[in-house]
Structure 1
Amino acid sequence: MGSEWMPWGERDAAAWIAVPTATDDKYSRGVLGIVTGSAEYPGAGVLGVEGAARTGVGMIRYLGDATDLVLARRPEVVTLPGRVQAWLIGSGTDSSDLGLLGTLFSDALASDEPVVADGGALELVAAAPRAGVMVTPHYRELSRMLGAIGEKVSAETIATTPSVWAARAADALRVTVLLKGSTTFIAEPLGARIAVTGAPPWTATAGSGDVLGGVLGALVATHADNVFESGVLARIAASASVLHGVAATLASRGGPLVALDIAEAVPDAVRRMLELRPR
């Protein structure tokens, strides 16, 4: 990792957690639209919604394919379309079989709202990039995204030098990239470069990335007014990564965990980080 990568810690991330005031309501606190989960991977929808809800957002509109499971876990979620401040799309879906979800992904990407994209939405982003879009691939997904624009690189090569490929992908794809791994690398096109470390190795578990997507989507929705400013989206992404890592540490307590444990620990992680703010 080169010296140009800026570290990001709990004190940095604490500044990007939106705390409601007495004059806020559910709309002013941010509304996040979520289109995640599928018949094959419904849990991704539940985990993303849970991560977003526990991070602190005014409302969630869920329009994915796991509605019954999502409502069973989070009955306060709204399942009708309407105005949102940000989108989380793609987790738990397959780009080869999107159906109606593909239309919803395209609509989100064509909107004026910021978008966090994962899973089956990644190749749509590669085909039509725009400002205000964050992608959250792992090594194999980034390899496929780069392949879609003619840059052939294996997942193994990306894993060997992830910082190089996160920066190169951001510049080539013209979107902000959060490359997941033991160190998370976040890069804006020709802009900010941030590295996040500190999550326990137990965090490498199925569904952990879906929770991270929800945390990130919530932070984007609560900062939607300035997310298009240079460097802001990268800092929000880094803050979500730190918050996710702190929650994983609290949930693990040195032992194994599952993804839902991380989501359930997010409120405690928020409280811990808010204590670091200047008084």
Structure 2
Amino acid sequence: MVREWTRDDTVGLLPVPTARDDKYTRGVVALRTGSAAYPGAAVLGVEAAWRTGAGYVRYVGGAVDAVLARRPETVAGTDIGDTRVGAWVIGSGTDAAHRSDHEQAALGHILAGSAPVVVDAGALDLADAAVAPVVLTPHAGELARLRGMLDLPDVDLETEDARIAAAAETAERVRATVLLKGARTVVAGPGAESIVVGDAPAWLATAGTGDVLAGILGTLLAANPDRPHTETAAAGAWLHGYAAARASGAVGGAVGHPIVALDVAEALPSAIAELLS
């Protein structure tokens, strides 16, 4: 059986603070993303984490200046210190081929912890060694490469059935949640019912939107520590698509217009407000 994720499903995972909350209880997200070559990935992920409702965002990657220029409320530095992290985001805007020994050790430390980790792009090669609960966010090409590293068979990902089967098999192999990005996103977890998330506008297929998704997922994981990660990941994908629809004007069957990734992040607060109204 495959579950089709809905708007109502998503609403139940959106973080809504109460009078008893503080910046820590609202969710602490830490990101080790971006690089000198791709600082924008860090900016987009941090922006999305704040815009989704995180109470506290830490940044410890290689794009500190760019992050602080855009979001000065971010706590940035080379050391996470004693901050209580609810979820990590790693890999966006990085390249495993150029990873230093220091970076390898830092990522290994994160993946050996207990906080959930969103593993994107340049960190997907580390998935099989993770001890922490992880949510992998590959697109089709990245999933094919990951499966090769895991000695899983080549598969044709052209049909939805094949995408669901490949995501589920990979999730079982690495004992992690796999979010396979696409026009209809597939979320699979070991022993869990697979989920399909549709309705995202085609305008969402543009550079940087995956970095925004990673930031959204980090915030929702930090805010929902007791929910299954497959459900949290599906909610993040649905919210991502809905914010893109609002940003592009593609709501209610309208054709819409081009957008950039930052438009999606900036549309998150109004999208959340509408969902909660």
Q: Note whether the superposition's TM-score is higher than 0.5.
A: yes
Q: Which amino acid aligns with 2:24?
A: Y
In structure 2, C-alpha distance between the alignment counterparts of 1:77 and 1:179, rounded to whole Å: 29
In structure 1, C-alpha distance between the alignment counterparts of 2:29 and 2:121, rounded to whole Å: 18
Greater shift, 163-172 or 108-117, is seen at 163-172
In structure 2, C-alpha distance between the alignment counterparts of 1:87 and 1:159, rounded to whole Å: 31
Task: Return the match for 1:236 from 210, 232, 238.
Answer: 232
> 1:192, CA displacement in angstroms?
2.6
Task: Return the match for 1:34 from 12, 23, 31.
Answer: 31
User: Which deviations, in whole Å up to 9, do the C-alpha atoms of 1:104-159 show, x marking residues without a partner?
Assistant: 21111001111110111111112x144621000001111111111112426xx224
Contact 2:41 2:92 (C-alpha < 8 Å) held by counterparts:
yes
Greater shift, 11-20 or 79-88, is seen at 79-88
Q: Indicate the residue corresponding to 1:96 in structure 2.
A: 97
Distance 1:38 1:71, change over 3 A: same
Q: Which amino acid aligns with 2:58?
A: R
Q: Indicate the residue corresponding to 2:157 in structure 1.
A: 158
User: Which deviations, in whole Å up to 9, do the C-alpha atoms of 1:222-264 show, x marking residues without a partner?
Assistant: 123x15xxxx101000100111011000000111100000000
Report 1:47-62 matches (<5 A): 47-62=44-59
Q: How many equivalent pairs are there?
A: 264
Contact 2:170 2:178 (C-alpha < 8 Å) held by counterparts:
yes
User: Which deviations, in whole Å up to 9, do the C-alpha atoms of 1:189-233 show, x marking residues without a partner?
Assistant: 121311000010000000010000000100001123x15xxxx10
Secondary structure of the residue aligned to 1:213 is: helix
Contact 1:64 1:101 (C-alpha < 8 Å) held by counterparts:
no
Q: Indicate the residue corresponding to 2:189 in structure 1.
A: 188
Q: Indicate the residue corresponding to 2:146 in structure 1.
A: 145
Contact 1:186 1:234 (C-alpha < 8 Å) held by counterparts:
yes
Secondary structure of the residue aligned to 1:88 is: strand
Contact 2:168 2:188 (C-alpha < 8 Å) held by counterparts:
yes
Secondary structure of the residue aligned to 1:195 is: strand
Q: Indicate the residue corresponding to 2:257 in structure 1.
A: 255
Indicate the RMSD between aligned Cα atoms, in angstroms: 1.2
TM-score of the superposed pair, with normalisation by structure 1: 0.92
In structure 2, C-alpha distance between the alignment counterparts of 1:64 and 1:105, rounded to whole Å: 11
Secondary structure of the residue aligned to 1:190 is: coil
Gaps in structure 1 of 5+ consecutive residues: none
In structure 2, C-alpha distance between the alignment counterparts of 1:101 and 1:136, rounded to whole Å: 20
Q: Indicate the residue corresponding to 1:85 in structure 2.
A: 86
Q: Which amino acid aligns with 1:234?
A: T
Secondary structure of the residue aligned to 1:205 is: coil
In structure 2, C-alpha distance between the alignment counterparts of 1:173 and 1:10, rounded to whole Å: 29
Contact 2:199 2:241 (C-alpha < 8 Å) held by counterparts:
yes
Secondary structure of the residue aligned to 1:158 is: coil
Contact 1:36 1:64 (C-alpha < 8 Å) held by counterparts:
yes
